[in-house]
Structure 1
Amino acid sequence: MKPKVISWNVRELNEYNKRLQVRNLLRQWKGNIICLQETKLEFITRKIVRSLWRGHHVGWLYLPSKGASGGVLIMFDKRVVDRLEDCVGEFTVAFSFENGFQWAFAGVYGPNIFFVIEVYNPNIDAEIRILWEELARLLSWWELPSCIGGDFNVSRFPSERSSMSHITPTMRGFSDFISKQALMDIPLTGGSYSWSNTREIPS
C-alpha cells in the first residue's frame, strides 16, 4: 500500500473539541502518515494521540512547543509503514520508514518569522540557517528518498504572499536550500494562498 501523507497547521490542539474536529477530518481524509504543526503543546501523551487517532496501530513522536508557540506531532499507521529510525531536532520531527522500500519523512515547523518585516536581523538569519542546516544533515545522514512537509513560515516567491512585491533574503535562502538538496517543490493548487487571516494586510 502506498502511504498517504497529510500535513496540516492545526493552530493549536489544547482543547478537546478542537481535537475532535481534527480527528473527524483526519478520519474523512484517511491518511496513513499525519504531520500536525503548531500544536502549541509542550507535552503530548498517549491520551492526546488517541483523541486524534483511534486504534492500537498508531506510532507517534512529537516536537514540543516553545511555550505557546510551535510544536509538531507526527502519527503513522504501523500496519502501513515500519519505523526504522527517528529524530527530533530544533524545528523538525523525522522518521525513516520501510514499506517495500526505505524512505524518509520530516515534518517541519519553521522559526516564526513570517510576519517580521523583511530587513536584515541577525537573530532571524541565525534561526532560519539552523533550519536549513538541520534538514540538510537529516538528508545527508539517511541518504534516502525523502519527503519534507510542514509549515516553514517562509514563502519562495512574492506571488505566494498577498502583500509582497519583491524577493526577500529568506525567500532566496529557501530556494537555495531546495536547489542544493535537489528537492522538488510541489506547487500549490486551488487557492492563491494557503490561508488568510483577518489583518488589514492578510498573509
Structure 2
Amino acid sequence: MLVKIILECWNVRGLGGRQKRDDVKAAVGCNLPSILCLQETKLTDISAFTASSFLPPSLRSFVFKPSVGSSGGIITAWDDRLLELTHHSIDEFSVSTTFSHRSDDLLFTIVNVYGPCTHPDKPIFLSSLEQIFPSFSGPVAFLGDFNLVRSPCDKSNGNINTTEAASFNDFINNLGLLEIPLLDRQFTWSNQQSPPILARLDRVLINPEWSFALPDSTLTSSPRPTSDHVPIHLEASSKAPRSTVFRMENSWLSHSAFPYLVTSNWNSVGPNHSHLSPVSQLCLRLKRVRAAARAWARERRLPSIYLLNCRSVISFLDRLEEHRTLSPLEQDLRSLAKTHLSQKNFERATYWRQRAKIKNCTLGDENSRYFHLCASGRLQKNQIKNLEADNGNLTSSHTAKATILHTFLNPFLAPLCRPATTSTSPP
C-alpha cells in the first residue's frame, strides 16, 4: 500500500512570545505535515494548552525535551490519526520517536536533533548520536539543526572549521548515512546582517533502509516568516513516480521475442512513406518501436507477488522431498519455478544496475540492493520539483509536469502515422 509522510523541520528560535507562536502555527499549518520537528523552543515546559498555541489542530500528540533556561528545547509532534508512537527516548541533544504507520504497519524512526553552538561540545554531540544509532532498526532519519557544515560550499564566505567539518563527514560515513539534497536553495541560516553570512546548518540524513522503504524522498524549503532559520520540508513516499519518458531496458534484450518486435516495427516504415523526409522517417520508425516496446513490456509485467510465489513453490517442494520422492511432474514444476525465479532476479538486477549509472563496479552483478540505493539517491537529487506553465502558474503534480514537457516537445516529433504492432512472431 502506498505510504506518504510529510515532515516539517524548523529551528524557530524561541516560542515565548504570542506573536511568534501565531506566526509558527500559521506557517506550519499551510503545509499540513504529518510530523513536525522544532528546535530551540526555549520552553522549560509544554502543556497541551501551550502546545495548542503553536501547533496546528491535526498535531495534538507530542514529545518534547525541555530547554535549559532560555537555551535549547526540542519538540516532535505528529498526527495520531496517521501514525502511532511505538517508542520514544530523550537524550542530551535529540528526541527520538519510532512510529508505526496505521495504514501499512511501516515502522520508522525520526531523530530530531539540535546541535550545540559551542565548539567543545560538538564532538560530544556527534558521539551521542553514534551511541544511540545501534538501538534503531528499520528506516531512520536524523533531521534538524546540526550547527555543523560539511564543506566550504555550505557557507557563503567559505570560512569553515575544517576539523569540525571532517568530524561531521566521518560521522556520516561511519554510520552509513545519506544526505537528502535540498532542491531549491543552498543555505538554511542567515545572520541577518548586511552583508549577510549564510550557511547550511539544517539537513536530513537517512540510512539505506529509509531509501529502500521510502525511495521518493524529496527535501525543499518553506517560506520563513520568522526566525533566522529556514523551515525544511520533507516529503517521503513508498512509491516513486514512473516517468512517461521512454527508456530502453537492457533486460529486454535477453528475450528472444524482442528482436523481432523491433525489426517488424522498424520495417513497417517503407515505400508508402516516401513523401516524408529521411529525418521524419527516422522519427516515425523510432516512435513505432517505442510504442510497441511499451505495449509489449506492459503485457508481460508481472505482479510483485510472482517472485514470492516462485520461492514458496520451491521451498514447499524441497520440504516435501524430505518425506517422499517427488513425482516427475513435481520435479518439473520445481525446475520451472527455479528457472523463472532466476530469470526474474536477473532482470531485476539489470533494471537497477542500468539506473544506478555506476561504472566499473566490483560489488557483484547480483547486488541489486546496492544499485537500488544508487538509483534512489539519483532520483532524490535530480527531481524537477516545479514547472511553470504558459499562464505563469507553478505546478508540482507529476502528471501536470509531464503534460507541460510533452506539449513543449510535441512540435519537434514526427506524427505517428499508424498504430504500432506488438506482434512478436512472424506471420
Asked if residue 183 in structure 1 is aligned to residue 188 in structure 2, the reply is no
Q: Whose strand proportion is higher, 1 or 2?
A: 1
Asked if residue 87 in structure 1 is aligned to residue 92 in structure 2, the reply is no
Q: Whose helix proportion is higher, 1 or 2?
A: 2
Task: Give the 3-state SS of the residue equivalent to 2:179 in structure 1.
Answer: coil
1:170 corresponds in structure 2 to 164
* Match for residue 202 of structure 1 among 191, 197, 210: 197
One-letter identity of the residue aligned with 1:49: A
Task: Give the 3-state SS of the residue equivalent to 1:4 in structure 2.
Answer: strand
* Match for residue 126 of structure 2 among 123, 128, 132: 132
2:237 corresponds in structure 1 to none
1:20 corresponds in structure 2 to 22
State the alpha-carbon separation in 2 of the partners of residues 196 and 56 from structure 1.
Answer: 30
Unmatched segments (≥5 aa) in structure 1: 114-123
Asked if residue 101 in structure 1 is aligned to residue 95 in structure 2, the reply is no
State the alpha-carbon separation in 2 of the partners of residues 107 and 189 from structure 1.
Answer: 21
Q: Which has the higher contact order (CA 8 A, sep 6+)?
A: 1
1:64 corresponds in structure 2 to 66
2:116 corresponds in structure 1 to 111
Q: In the superposition, relative to structure 1, how do residues 15 and 167 fare at CA in structure 2: closer, same or farther (>3 Å)?
A: closer
One-letter identity of the residue aligned with 1:47: F
The answer to whether the Cα contact below 8 Å between 2:59 and 2:77 also exists between their aligned partners in 1 is no
Deviation at 1:80, TM superposition (A): 1.1
Unmatched segments (≥5 aa) in structure 2: 199-427
Q: TM-score, normalised by structure 1?
A: 0.87
State the alpha-carbon separation in 2 of the partners of residues 201 and 13 from structure 1.
Answer: 24
Deviation at 1:56, TM superposition (A): 7.3
Q: TM-score, normalised by structure 2?
A: 0.43
1:121 corresponds in structure 2 to none
RMSD over equivalenced CA pairs, Å: 1.8
Name which one, 1 or 2, has greater alpha-carbon Rg. 2
Asked if residue 48 in structure 1 is aligned to residue 50 in structure 2, the reply is yes
State the alpha-carbon separation in 1 of the partners of residues 25 and 45 from structure 2.
Answer: 19
User: Matched residues, percent identical?
Assistant: 30
Q: In the superposition, relative to structure 1, how do residues 44 and 166 fare at CA in structure 2: closer, same or farther (>3 Å)?
A: closer
Task: Give the 3-state SS of the residue equivalent to 1:139 in structure 2.
Answer: helix
One-letter identity of the residue aligned with 1:155: V
